[in-house]
Amino acid sequence: MDLVIFSITAIIAIIGAVAMLVSRNAVHSALFLLLNLGAISVLFLLLQAPFLFAVQLIVYAGAIIVLFLFVVMLLGAERDEDGADPVRWQVPTAVVMAALLIGQVIYVFVTEPTATADSVNTNISEGFGSPTQIAQALFTTHLYHLKSPHSCCSLP
């Protein structure tokens, strides 16, 4: 059952992301991004993380996309400008970067079998992902990383 829901949600997320990139209208793009973020919040639910689900909805769907829409609507900037793209190198660069990222993800997925959904769902402890646990992790174990964001990339 989880696999079915996951597949549907993942397909919706991918469709949203692709449609956001290809649509020529900024408001449509923002709405497709909203679809994508909503689908990702459902994925958080599938991973037993209701807190992240709610926070994803509040922060991204509730605030950030509204701001996007607000600015686009206020400036009337929803139409693509005529003429050639002034920054010609950005599309090829983005494609290369995305390919690199996908390669990384696939590598991690293949070499780290613990990252699959099944292992996550069977190995969770009582109260996993509850606000209490997240707060404890954030404000005790990882307090140092929380306080100094530049250090979060250092290896443990």
Partner 1 sequence: MEFWIDILILLVRCLVLALAATTLFAYFTLFERRLLGRFQNRIGPNRAGHIPLPGGKKLFGGFLQPAADAVKLFFKEDVIPEKADKWVYLIAPGFAVIPALIIWVGIPLGNWPDGQGSNWLHYAPIDVGILYLLAVTSVGVYGIAIAGWASNNKYSMIGGVRASAQVISYELALGLSILAVVMQNGTFRTEEIVAGQNIIWNIVPQFLAFVIFLVASTAEVVRSPFDLVEAEQELVGGYNTEYGSMKFALFFMSEYIKLVAMNAIAVALFLGGGNFPGIDTLVAAIRTSNGDTIAYAVQGALTLGAFLLKTTVLSFISVWVRASVPRVRYDQLMNLGWKILMPLALFNVVLTAVIGVIFPEGGLVIHIAMFVIGAVVIGITSVVAAPKRAKRSVTMVSNNASN
* Binder among 73, 97, 108, 137 for partner 1 (CB under 8 A): 73
> Rounded to the nearest whole angstrom, what is the least distance from the CB of residue 146 to partner 1 in the complex?
19
From residue 145, give the alpha-carbon distance in Å to each of 49, 52, 150. 21, 19, 8
Give the tokens for residue 81: 């400008």
144 is written with which tokens? 């140092």
Q: Which 8-state DSSP code applies to residue 118?
A: H
Interface with partner 1, residue 54, by CB under 8 A: yes
Q: How far apart are CA 13 and CA 41, in angstroms?
A: 10
Residues that contact partner 1, how many (by CB under 8 A): 26
Contacts of partner 1 in 94-113 (CB under 8 A)? none
Contact range with partner 1 by CB under 8 A, out of 4-12, 102-110, 123-131, 138-146: 123-131
Q: Per CB under 8 A, which region of 49-57, 117-125, 136-144, 148-156 contacts partner 1?
A: 49-57
For residue 35, state whether it binds partner 1 (rule: CB under 8 A): no
Q: What are phi and psi of 82, to 5 degrees?
A: -70, 165
